[in-house]
Amino acid sequence: MAYSDKVVDHYNNPRNVGTLDKSSDEVGTGLVGAPECGDVMRLQIRVNPETQVIEEAKFKTFGCGSAIASSSLATEWIKGRTVEDALAIKNTDIVKELSLPPVKIHCSVLAEDAIRAAIGDWKKKNGVAETAATAETAK
Amino acid sequence: MKVVESAVPVACWSCSVAHNESTLFCPHCSKIQPPPDGDYYSVFGLTPKLEIDLAVLEHEFYRLSRKLHPDRFARAQEREKEWSLADTALLNDAYRTLKDPLRRTEYLLKLHGACIGEEFAGADGNGRRDPSRVPADLLEEVFDLNMQIEEMRAARKTGAIDRELESNLTEAKEKFQSLLDAVDADLRTQWRAWDAGNGAARGTAQKAMVALLDRRRYLSNLLRDVTETLGA
């Protein structure tokens, strides 16, 4: 099975690889794994407390090319978005952008899970209730 | 793949006597049969269970292999020659699957509708993840160990030897090996529960085994990487 050019590009030149200070209140960390393939993905965000905009996003993924590309793309997409906007990213968007074949769809699911986990962690740290935050933006 | 219970008798092409559809040879006239539709267990006349008698499996495998040998069909009809090759391929697949404890477990659970394998990857039928299948307690350790492995590989490239890192990894290797052994022991316990149980008990054991197989995959990938790094 051949990887799409976009996957190869992200794999060879992954964007935003790295670590953010886990102990900072502005940082949310999501650590997720796919048991079947043994992949593990960490995605971190630094959120501006005033604007709720994700100003920095970093990832580190141990896994296949598709998992690395999915998380690399995810960090690119969430940077500059507000927390609530970032939650709107669906794994299917990643599948489309990277032309992932059906057997690699779970890699995109993992990336979506990682975004949610990172945002969930940030919300927990900052005492933002999941539903309250959604209600805020709905106003 | 079909479960043996659903097998319907088919008539032998040669003597027309009905036989179990999974036999490679007609029990009545001993003529070779086309590759049967039944599951791998029925090829060997075994009951579909997780704990099997490996000696019986091996004995049957060699006995049937000899009976299927192409030399025995040198003067047979053309279709019998073809069947002997097709049956041999089936026999080999069946043997390889059943003799390996993990492949056997995955095979039998799949026969009973379990979703196992990379194509499912912790997701339910709609591509959504079942959170209970991700071993969260392991994630942190898995991630840290992967980081150490990477660090060690990078150090190796520059020719540096980090004794502390090396001993950390050796320790981790031993720890993950013992975790893996524990998973295998748990799997065996679930095998017995599944074999002895029916209905609900089987369902519970099946769920436990799917989770154990997930955990095992994580651990064995890690062990492979640690071993490779240490041995490099």
Quick check: is B123 in a domain?
no
- Residue B144 sits in the same domain as residue B216: yes
Contacts of A35 in chain B (CB under 8 A): 121-122, 133-135, 214-215, 217-218
Asked whether the beta carbons of B43 and B106 are under 8 A apart, the reply is: no
In the residue annotation, A64 being an active-site residue is answered as no
The answer to whether the Cβ–Cβ distance between A31 and B139 falls below 8 Å is yes
- Residue B13 sits in the same domain as residue B106: yes
Q: What pLDDT is attached to residue A87?
A: 95
- Residue B83 sits in the same domain as residue B53: yes
Supply φ then ψ for residue B111, to 5 degrees: -55, -30
Q: What is the pTM of this model?
A: 0.70
Quick check: is B175 in a domain?
yes
Instruction: Please name the member of A38, A42, A91 whose beta carbon is closest to the beta carbon of B217.
Output: A38
CB burial readout A99-108, b (16+ within 10 A) else e: ebeeebbbbb
Contacts of B135 in chain A (CB under 8 A): 33, 35
CB of A113 less than 8 A from some CB of B? yes
ipTM of the complex, rounded to two decimals: 0.80
Q: Which of A41, A54, A107, A110 is catalytic?
A: A107
B62 lies in which domain range?
9-111
Q: What pLDDT is attached to residue A38?
A: 74
Angle between helices A65-78 and A5-12 (to 10 degrees): 80
- Residue B215 sits in the same domain as residue B152: yes
DSSP string, A55-123: EEEEEEEES-HHHHHHHHHHHHHHTTSBHHHHHT--HHHHHHHHT--GGGHHHHHHHHHHHHHHHHHHH
Q: What pLDDT is attached to residue A138?
A: 42
Q: Residue B15's closest CA among B38, B35, B36, B32?
A: B32
- Residue B220 sits in the same domain as residue B144: yes
Which chain B residue lies closest to A110 (C-alpha atoms)? B129
Q: Which two tokens stand for residue B214?
A: 């997930």
Q: What pLDDT is attached to residue A1?
A: 57
Q: What pLDDT is attached to residue B182?
A: 94
Q: What pLDDT is attached to residue A134?
A: 47
Q: What pLDDT is attached to residue B1?
A: 46
Supply φ then ψ for residue A58, to 5 degrees: -130, 150
Count of domains observed in chain B:
2
Instruction: Please name the member of A31, A34, A42 whose beta carbon is closest to the beta carbon of B121.
Output: A34
- Residue B14 sits in the same domain as residue B106: yes
- Residue B81 sits in the same domain as residue B168: no
- Residue B139 sits in the same domain as residue B196: yes
Rounded to the nearest angstrom, the minimum Cα separation between A51 and chain B is: 31
Q: What pLDDT is attached to residue B127?
A: 46
CA distance A68 to A72: 6
Whether residue A8 has pLDDT greater than 70 = yes
- Percent share of chain A, pLDDT over 70: 90
| Three-class DSSP category at A32 | strand
Contacts of A109 in chain B (CB under 8 A): 121, 123, 127-129
Quick check: is B1 in a domain?
no
- Residue B155 sits in the same domain as residue B186: yes
**pLDDT by residue (tens digit) across A14-58?**
999 999 999 999 999 999 987 667 789 999 999 999 999 999 999
**pLDDT by residue (tens digit) across A68-95?**
999 999 999 999 999 999 999 999 999 9
- Residue B77 sits in the same domain as residue B107: yes
Quick check: is B57 in a domain?
yes
Q: Residue B170's closest CA among B216, B224, B226?
A: B226
Residues of chain B with pLDDT under 70: 1-8, 117-136, 232
Quick check: is B119 in a domain?
no
Quick check: is B159 in a domain?
yes
- Residue B137 sits in the same domain as residue B205: yes
Quick check: is B117 in a domain?
no
| Domain of residue B88, CATH code | 1.10.287.110
Quick check: is B116 in a domain?
no
Amino acid at A7: V
Place of tokens 């079909």: B2
Average the pLDDT over A118-131 and give the result.
84
- Residue B162 sits in the same domain as residue B78: no
